[in-house]
């Protein structure tokens, strides 16, 4: 049975307090596995406004109704309002996910800072920032994290090396290359290991293989404008030919306003014969010793602004 891994990014204070509990309840109704990845430090979402002149950013904001999904208050954190400390104020919500049987892991310390700064950061800054997240995770859950998924699919060589130093066995820090219609450009893309400065890393990368909802909503794909009424149909069309997939969803989106679309996806993927699972369950099925070893690569994807980590060909 092919596996469809559900990777849930909790980026913000609101997403963790509201979206995470909603998703826990929804996933349990469907008896679906999933991995929750938490932002563990401050919520500086308001700093995203400085990205408004980056190519593609304004069109994405316009298409996905950022104010509606994230809330006006969230968009003022770190600017007109103090940035809440998510790990301190939402620890009980995070522990509830673990207590409900879901795998939990690290997304980042501060989502906005990591996404904006990590690509060009030095080893000292990278290690210090990742250590903050690692320590906070251990404080909340009482155990070391086993998995990681980079905020905004942004990393640097020091960060990948640090995952090995932490003993992170598997992560989902990047994407596979996608065509304009959302299909995977390289049919062999999937789990792999990275090579950094001639060193093959132990950590297995499980890249996201499907477009996210915020990447397809509001776009015209295959001659159709994609909206809430047909977004699930598009994604289910991409998974009709069965293979293992990783789908990234967001506590701020599928955990709130886009929950009805996610409900259709859960039922549709079950009907297609997929096992809905966590990253850990997916990793357990991967033969680590035969994975391709690839360099770190960057690229752009349809519907998302800027470059991100992508699987090299």
What the block records as the tokens of 234 is 């598009």
pLDDT in tens, 204-235: 999 999 999 999 999 999 999 999 999 999 99
**Quick one: average pLDDT of 127-141?**
98
Distance (Å, whole) CA 201 – CA 32: 30
CB 275 within 8 A of CB 4: yes
What does the mean pLDDT of the chain come to?
A: 91
What integer pLDDT is reported at residue 188 of this predicted model? Answer: 93
Q: List the domain range (segments joined by +) for residue 136.
A: 3-311
- Nearest Cα neighbor of 83 from 29, 37, 41, 135 is 41
Total domains, the chain: 1
| 53 confidence band (pLDDT: 50, 70, 90) | very low
Residues contacting 165, CB < 8 A, separation 6+: none
Whether 279 shows a pLDDT value over 70: the answer reads yes
CATH code for the domain of 281:
3.20.20.370
**Percentage of residues of the chain with pLDDT beyond 70:** 88
pLDDT band at 49 (very low <50, low <70, confident <90, very high): low
Q: Does 181 score more than 90 pLDDT?
A: yes
pLDDT in tens, 58-107: 444 444 555 454 545 555 444 545 668 999 999 999 999 999 999 999 99
Beta strands in the chain (DSSP E): 3-10, 35-39, 103-108, 147-148, 170-171, 192-196, 199-205, 220-221, 224-225, 245-250, 275-277, 293-299, 308-311
């Amino acid at each position: 049975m092919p596996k469809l891994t559900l990777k849930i990014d909790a980026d913000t204070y609101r997403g963790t307090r509201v979206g995470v509990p909603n998703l826990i309840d929804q996933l349990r109704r469907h008896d679906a596995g999933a991995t929750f990845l938490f932002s563990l430090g401050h919520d500086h979402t308001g700093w995203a406004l400085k990205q408004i002149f980056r190519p593609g950013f304004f069109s994405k904001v316009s298409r996905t109704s950022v104010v509606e999904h994230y809330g006006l208050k969230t968009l003022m954190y770190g600017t007109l309002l103090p940035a809440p400390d998510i790990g301190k104020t939402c620890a009980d919500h995070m522990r509830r996910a673990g207590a409900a049987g879901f795998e939990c892991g690290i997304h980042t310390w501060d989502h906005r800072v990591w996404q904006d700064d990590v690509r060009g950061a030095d080893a000292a800054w990278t290690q210090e920032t990742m250590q903050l997240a690692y320590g906070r995770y251990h404080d909340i859950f009482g155990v070391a994290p086993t998995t990681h998924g980079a905020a905004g699919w942004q990393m640097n060589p020091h960060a990948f090396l640090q995952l090995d130093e932490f003993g992170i066995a598997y992560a989902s820090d990047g994407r596979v290359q996608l065509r304009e219609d959302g299909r995977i450009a390289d049919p062999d893309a999937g789990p792999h290991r990275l090579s950094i400065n001639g060193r093959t890393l132990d950590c297995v990368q499980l890249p996201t293989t499907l477009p996210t909802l915020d990447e397809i909503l509001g776009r015209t794909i295959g001659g159709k404008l994609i909206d809430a009424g047909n977004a699930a149909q598009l994604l289910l069309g991409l998974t009709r030919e069965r293979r293992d997939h990783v789908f990234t969803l967001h506590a701020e989106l599928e955990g709130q306003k886009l929950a009805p679309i996610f409900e259709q996806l859960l039922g549709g993927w079950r009907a297609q014969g997929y096992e809905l699972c966590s990253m850990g369950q997916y990793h357990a099925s991967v033969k680590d010793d035969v994975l391709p070893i690839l360099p770190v690569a960057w690229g752009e994807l349809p519907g998302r602004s800027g470059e991100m980590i992508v699987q090299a060909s």
